[in-house]
Amino acid sequence: MIEVAKAHTIDAGDPQVIESLNRERVEQLAEKHRLSAEEIKAGKRRGNVICADDYDIADIGIYGDLAEFLYDIRGSQVLFRPLDGWWPESLRNAGEFRLLTAKEVESSRAELPVPG
């Protein structure tokens, strides 16, 4: 799961994985911003544009953002349920978990707005 998430920007994670992920993030940021690891840890960055992946990975327990889906990975099965609103308040009105299938993925893609 972590390897899949690394293909995107990881904003927050479980405390069990944050330390190792942030070690890797600091190394990447030091190279990207041409700064030392100590400067990165102190919050220093270079550039006119700073992105979400220019920050440490936060504890998921304090994460607050708009949430669209919640996933529960159980062995080889992936369950999901749609969410609507800010995390974690969106859990209050969340429906039941459903098995994520190729059909579910295709039907959710069909519901996406077409740009233009």
The reply to whether 10 and 25 lie within a common domain is yes
Question: Taking the model in full, what pTM does it have?
Answer: 0.55
The reply to whether 28 and 51 lie within a common domain is yes
The reply to whether 18 and 48 lie within a common domain is yes
The reply to whether 78 and 56 lie within a common domain is no
CB count in 10 Å sphere of residue 80: 19
Task: Give the pLDDT of residue 109.
Answer: 61
Say if 48 falls within a structural domain.
yes
- What pLDDT digit, counting tens, does each position of 53-79 carry? 898 888 887 877 777 888 888 888 989
Domain that holds residue 91: 66-110
The reply to whether 28 and 45 lie within a common domain is yes
Q: How far apart are CA 110 and CA 108, in angstroms?
A: 5
Q: How far apart are CA 2 and CA 43, in angstroms?
A: 24
Tokens of 22: 């942030």
